[in-house]
Copies of this chain bind each other. A is one copy, B any other.
Amino acid sequence: MDRVIETHRLSKVYRRGVYALRDVSLQIDKGEFVFLTGPSGAGKSTLLRLLLCEERPSDGRLTVSGRNLDELRPREVQAYRRTIGFVFQDFKLIPRMTVLENVSFVLRVLGLSSVQQRRRTFQVLKWVGLQHRMNAYPQDLSGGEQQRIAIARALVNDPALVLADEPTGNLDPDLSLEIMNLFREINARGTTVLVATHDRELIRQVGRRAISLDQGHVTEVM
């Protein structure tokens, strides 16, 4: 089977010698659905940020689909990011744009016609149950609604790899499970999914492989 994500003795040290990741080696295959779990400050977001090229590894090797992320040039980084769907822990919606614009922007960059943009955007907004709020601005939405918009944006361009950082932190259990079912559906169509979460109940309910981090170390691979 194809390796999608592979890390080898990956470490990340922030300023002042804070080790967020230390010698992390793991593999995720194409089509897998994997949870990343661990207590607050374990390094989950850091690993995802490295996968998005938002940070550079301090040490070790990190390859995605066989390409070493450390060797990408700026233009390639942008192209690479367009193949990923990322749900940010703090949503990162553009306040100046409406919900519709926030989500369809990704498609516009890919060069889709505006009819296609609208159709696809409307579809994902319906998936997360927010099609009626599409002309609102992000700051006029509740926390959970913003989170669902962030999820919609990550899924809109049918990415090959979905990385989600705590995507249900602001959602009630029922909605969380619904979103997870959405991820499962996308996964069933061949997309590799990596979800960081602290919600053990949810992991149990979804019942997939989970990687545990603690203080930068991999402690458990279920």
Which residues of A are at the interface with B, using a C-beta cutoff of 8 A?
A: 14-16, 18, 37-41, 44-46, 89-90, 136, 140-145, 147-148, 165-166, 169-175, 198-201
Known contacts A169-B170, A201-B201; decide if A175 and B144 are in contact (CB<8 Å): no
Cβ-defined contact, A40 with B170, below 8 A: yes
- Please give the count of copies of this chain that the complex contains: 2
In the assembled complex, the CB of A111 is this many whole angstroms from the nearest CB of chain B, namely: 32
Cβ-defined contact, A142 with B198, below 8 A: no
Cβ-defined contact, B143 with A89, below 8 A: yes
Q: Is the interface of A mostly helix, strand, loop or mixed?
A: mixed
A136 to B200, CA, bound (A): 29
In the complex, which of the residues A15, A45, A143 has the most CB atoms of chain B within 10 Å of its own CB atom? A143
Cβ-defined contact, B169 with A169, below 8 A: yes
Tell which of B37, B38, B41, B170 touches A145, judged by Cβ atoms closer than 8 Å.
B41
In the assembled complex, the CB of A45 is this many whole angstroms from the nearest CB of chain B, namely: 6
Cβ-defined contact, A89 with B170, below 8 A: yes
Give the chain B neighbours of A175 by CB distance below 8 A: 39-40
Cβ-defined contact, B145 with A173, below 8 A: no
A169 to B89, CA, bound (A): 11
